[in-house]
Structure 1
Amino acid sequence: MRILVTEDEADLLHAVAVSLRGAGFAVDTAADLAGADEALAVNSYDCAVFDRMVPGGRAAPRVDTLAYVRHRRRTGLRVPVLFLTALDGVGHRVEGLEVGDDYLVKPFAMEELVVRVRLLCHRREIARPAVLRHGDVELDAGTRQVRRAGVLLTLTRREYLVLELLLANAGRPVSRADLIRHAWDEMAQPATNVLDVLMAGLRRKLRQPPVIHTVRQVGYRIG
């Protein structure tokens, strides 16, 4: 699962990212609203964490991210949003929950943040198909189990994520860049051949006949 965290306080941003990565999430970070907006435009996230007040961008004044999320909701943003804030009045909390999906007042325990993010991600997963299938390949998002012809396969977390994206786009090519963005976060800096190595291992585990095909100069396709 991939999370976007937007927070301009560097120490807190680092601590949140470390805690979420330690809990198994892939995490991208932004220090201002311009960076967050760009990340949301090019990546798919399971949850976004926003500090309520952040700089708008380079040399821009501080802005309330609640207004930004409200606007993006009207234009189709469906990512669950958790607001972090020092604004702890009842009115602030009600306003935050009306626009976002959760609201956590600073200071907070990292363990609580991790649990809240996991719950929001689970809520988003419920809206997705419970099981992705193509031919005799089946991925159960609820149990995170993968089977081929009924045989349970043991995949790494990144193999699972790559297969998940391919199955969600069955019959259509998925670019190498999209696969890497889905399975690695911005801090991973994978080597240029890391996807090829992962794909070779995934193909071996899926066994014959081949189900994942290379699309030259694009990426990969299942089916």
Structure 2
Amino acid sequence: MNIFGDAIVWLNDPLNWTNPDGILARAAEHLFISVCALALAFAIAVPVGVVLGHTGRGGGFIVALANLTLAVPTMALLTLFVVAGFGAGYPPIILALTVFGIPPLLSNAYLGMREVDPDVRDAARGMGLSGAQVVGRVELPLAVPYILSGFRTAAVQIVATATLAAFVNGGGLGMIISRGFGLGLASGGGQVVAGGLIVIALCLALEGLLALTQRALTPRALRQGVRRPPSSAADRVDASAAAAKP
């Protein structure tokens, strides 16, 4: 029997799902880690992106931050947090994933605010709206598709990368893969493949769910004419920053 057949056999064993160290328990840990990291990244990145996008400043900073974060391997960042005194377990992996999730949220929030038609802003100010009212009533609703797109990208990336939690005894689905490797590929290869398939299935399910959520939360008037921003949001942010210069 090949390794994929072994993976199917492993997945069909009910005990591998229900025991205290099984798939359901590890999936719950995986989602807990991911939700904590995503919530922290959202709380940090989106307000900053909205403020910078409203003022039209900081585009170069966002591009530099996104490029710097992409250049730092998540595993190296995770190791630094462990060595810095955060120890093993949840804290280092949540912090590392938070840093990993900030760039798409920050760049898309900034880009969404900058993509608002300047004439719309001027009209809102002409009607007597304050700066805060322009942000809350005009710019943010129009930036929703971009912010949701950044959230969607960050969520899938974080869930996929949370597998690294196994390296610091942080739990999650990566523990299944790690223990399969510990058994050796001859006897644990099926478990390794099964763990990888579970992570892939979870990411695909999350992508589909968030795509539906994005469509549902996008104002109806914007659904027809708004496309999802390109994956290289940093390029668009760079262009917006250049256009904002006097």
Alignment TM-score, normalising by the size of structure 2: 0.28
Higher relative contact order (CA 8 A, sep 6+): 2
Which has more helix, going by share of residues?
Answer: 2
Q: Which structure is larger by alpha-carbon Rg, 1 or 2?
A: 2
Alignment TM-score, normalising by the size of structure 1: 0.30
Which has more strand, going by share of residues?
Answer: 1
